[in-house]
Structure 1
Amino acid sequence: MTFQELKISKPILKALQEKGYEYPTPIQEQAIPIALDKNDLLGIAQTGTGKTAAFSIPIIQHLSNNNSDRKSEIKALILTPTRELAIQIEDCVKEYSRFTQVRSCVIFGGVSQHSQVLALKKGIDILIATPGRLLDLISQKIISLQHIEYFVLDEADRMLDMGFIHDIKRIIPMLPNRRQTMLFSATMPQTIATLSKSILHNPQRIEVAPASSVVDTIEQKLYLVEKPQKVELLAEVLSDSKQKTALVFSRTKHGADKIAKKLKAKGIYCEAIHGNKSQNARQRALTNFKSGKTRVIVATDIAARGIDIANLQLVINYDLPDVAETYVHRIGRTGRAGNSGVALTFCSKEEYPIVKDIQKLTGRKLNRVQTALAVSNG
């Protein structure tokens, strides 16, 4: 199936064609017709499956078809947990709407609100926002949600992880009862399931790439190594993979800084991104990484949600995550769009139970690599 067969309007098709997009991803193929019919939607999908286009293209098309009404009220709200993801969504919305009169704006905390307020005052149709800055500007009476016709809650499970569920519950009552709502989440914990029932009206549910699935093009390797030797192993691996872009996962913010510092001391230039970094520092690091100026990024799980690199070649689990599902999300950063990728996992003795959980969840055994730094799993 092509995008043209999904009954997408000519201006949006032109924008997609200029980006070289011809065939929709599975979630786009399923979600776009549902959204174009103005049905509520519950989408279970990981980052990287193409869900931004799945929800934004129908909204742009609806607003474009009603462009005779050029009032300045905000008509669509896309709520997302992180600043990086908000910027990424805004970039996509601008690309898809470039041949329409639909206007969009992104707001997030951690920076001055001045330029964001100026953009809002010019009049926009679609607002992409993080919860904190949205509530702040609402309290200042700069933003009103009373004219919202389309509402998207993206990365709902990450919203929960980051403690935004209470902010969301404050925002929902500000929206009109008559609206189209789309909720997307990589997983469906009970809190999100309950929330979805309260905000969605007769939704159609679609599920793509469930949390247990791992892309076939990703080669998974396991290194059994104790914590004191992990930095040595990391430096060794990165030295052997000089031409590869690498995303290294740390469990903590402090750990990310520590890993980056030790790599730099060994002559491997890298940057760390996490919640304690300023917005400008995080965005600069991401820009350097995407452009190839920086080859290695060390990140925490939350910060990494904003990293969307089409040809990322190597993911390294320096620390194992607390739950097996997070492993699937991490390594899904590589091996995208039919490309091959490699995922390496460094596992100490106390982390080995997580490896067992991962293998049980994915139904795959991680290929163990023998090195001089390897240890027995006991």
Structure 2
Amino acid sequence: MINQLLLTRYLLLLVPAIASMYLETYISNDSYALFVLLFIGLIEMRRTRFPNTNWMLLLEIACTGWMSYHFKGVWFLSFFSTLLTYVPKLNRKQQFIAILLQLLVLNVSLQNQPAMYFIFANVMFGTIAILSFQLQRMKKNKDDVELLYDQLRKQHYELDEARLQLMDYARKVENIAQTEERNRISHDLHDDLGHKLIRIKMMMEASLTILPSQPSKGTEMLRSVRDQLGESMELLRSTVRRLKPNKHSLQSYSLTTLIDELTRENAIDIELDIQGMPYELYPSLEYILYRNAQEAISNAIRHGTATYVLITLQYAANQVTMGVSNNGTRQMEPTVKGLGLSGMEERIKVIGGQLYISNDEQFTVTTVLPAFRHNEAN
């Protein structure tokens, strides 16, 4: 873009310089060529040595007006070359002042020139000024778009980083909770069961020692050992039961449980189709699938008066996909996301999932979650 502007600038200098030699008759072509070279030298000095100085701009405008007034011809075209240089760099106020000054010098330099030159020069000057402003605006818009894109990309990276940190934090919390529970159970086994077993061992050794000489007392000690063994076995059973989660907690967010509850409470037929090889999911993923299925089925009953719902649960290596479709009334208008759909979308975005809504043959809500397996967290 810069090379093209530079080429256009010098063409607008060389073309009038060469054309004016054929349109006008000068006393000395050598003097004319010298002034042209000096003028081009001034232009080059401003471009390379003083690119952002306003006094060099004023000097160029004055020299351009002098060349156009003195040598006539089509030297007024060089005004357009100067116009291209300051519009992208100056602020609005400076642009307005420079354009008015250049337009004034342009019209003064065209004295004693044909009227057609006045009209052509002013129309061309206004056209190029407007085009320069449009190019400047397009460049600014492009820069704004690129800046916005960079910010969005940065926020996307930050969101991915936050999601990964959240998932890592969830794994650590679960591991810490499991470690604390294991430590508590190990302390219970050591403090209660361990001490009981040590005491039972000592009592059995004592009973074996006194049994030949004092049968009655030895038998009584053996009965005490038997009773304490029973207590120890009961303590061991209760500890094992605490290690194993209860059935309700295992099935609280099960899709099968959800289907049974909704089928029992509503006159609706719900079918579950599992595709792929199922594997154990992280509890947060099971919770999201449960809540999204619950919300999708509730919307199908409430808004679509559906009588049949199909839940398709597909297990893949990298993701888990759940589609909930129904035979209810389809909306012809574009789907408006209410609190339910918005809540589903916010819920899955936390872990990097996606929500798709289709209203083709059947209204279908599809939840796509990354395949984060429960056994990977341990």
Higher helix share: 2
Larger radius of gyration: 2
Taking structure 1 as the reference length, what is the TM-score of the superposition?
A: 0.18
User: Using CA pairs below 8 Å that are at least 6 residues apart, which structure has the higher relative contact order?
Assistant: 1
Q: Identify the structure with the greater strand proportion.
A: 1
